[in-house]
Amino acid sequence: MHCFEGNVSQLLRFWAGLTGDVRAVLMIFVIIFFGLLVESLTTQASAAPTKEAGDGAPKEESRLSRGVRRNEFAVWGGMSPHATAVFGGLRPAETKDRQFYILALRYGRLIGSWRHLDLQYVADFFPAAVAADTVVTRAYPPEDSRARGNVYGFGVSPLGVKVMFRPRSRWRPYAGANGGFLRFREPVPLPQSEKFNFTFEIDGGVMFAGKTRYSWFGGVKFHHLSNGGRSPTNRGMNTIQLFFGVSFWR
């Protein structure tokens, strides 16, 4: 009992220490998750065959209720060998040698299916993100005097959508977009930035569907993070990431 009370107390202290932005994003994630859970249970309950009045044959079901696996559970990882200044944000000298690594757990929900494409909601939880060789201190003058280090963080990306093409083939190209946040132990990408950063991603790749419930996927992702003007400087960091992962469908 004391252990349970201690865990609840730690959870409440953790919640109280979060900023209003982080709380809002987490609440949106929880609402979406439980809404999809209720919708999934309702769909499964109504998917059982029913008999038409005066007809012994089962009533025809929709394609989504005829054994199509709608829930995806995945783990994936991505890395970027260096940041880019092509899309603005950091200056070319500040992008040099910066690397970015991320590990993600994903939940996906099939929300629409047609002959040539599937539409899916996706949400990612990031238990680990590393901004490697980022600028952690800067001395003035001179302007280019700086120290670099690795900064660790975590986050969620609850607002995501993915379009899968050729859903009935083994090789399935897809494109997607996600939005969320990452919170680091130190300001990223510059000392004048914030620990809390909003994120936006656009990715494209290919999924290989095996004969079992498992699938493998990989591709290229454009990843942007910035603090949304919550600090004196809002120069974001843009990276091009390679990612690979495995999915389990049920």
- Answer yes or no: is pLDDT of 21 > 90: no
The mean per-residue pLDDT over the stretch 98-115 comes to 92
Domain count, the chain: 1
Q: With a threshold of 0.85, does the pTM exceed it?
A: no
Beta bridge partners of residue 109, listed in sequence order: 71, 121
Q: Binning pLDDT at 50, 70 and 90, where does residue 241 land?
A: very high
Burial of residue 82 (CB within 10 Å: 0-12, 13-18, 19+) is middle
What percentage of the chain exceeds 90 in pLDDT? Answer: 42
The mean per-residue pLDDT over the stretch 59-85 comes to 76
Higher-pLDDT residue of 44 and 136 is: 136
Q: List pLDDT tens digits, range 38-68.
A: 555 555 455 445 444 444 544 434 445 455 6
Q: Binning pLDDT at 50, 70 and 90, where does residue 200 land?
A: very high
Residue-number span of the structural domain to which 114 is assigned: 63-249
Q: Which of 249, 228, 2 is nearest to 120 (CA)?
A: 249
- State the Cα–Cα distance between residues 172 and 77, nearest whole angstrom: 19
- Tell me if 197 sits within 8 A of 227, measured CB to CB: yes
Any domain includes 1: no
pLDDT score, position 165: 94
pLDDT score, position 148: 80
What are the Cα distances from residue 237, in Å, to 61, 192, 241?
48, 13, 12
Q: At 39, which amino acid appears?
A: E
pLDDT score, position 177: 95
Any domain includes 171: yes
The mean per-residue pLDDT over the stretch 197-215 comes to 90
Q: Which of 186, 188, 179 is nearest to 24 (CA)?
A: 179
pLDDT score, position 46: 52
Q: Tell me the CATH number at 189.
A: 2.40.160.20
Q: List pLDDT tens digits, range 146-185.
A: 578 889 999 999 999 999 999 888 999 999 999 999 999 9
pLDDT score, position 237: 92
The mean per-residue pLDDT over the stretch 108-112 comes to 91
Any domain includes 31: no
Mean pLDDT over the full length of the chain: 79
Any domain includes 9: no
Any domain includes 209: yes
What percentage of the chain exceeds 70 in pLDDT? Answer: 69
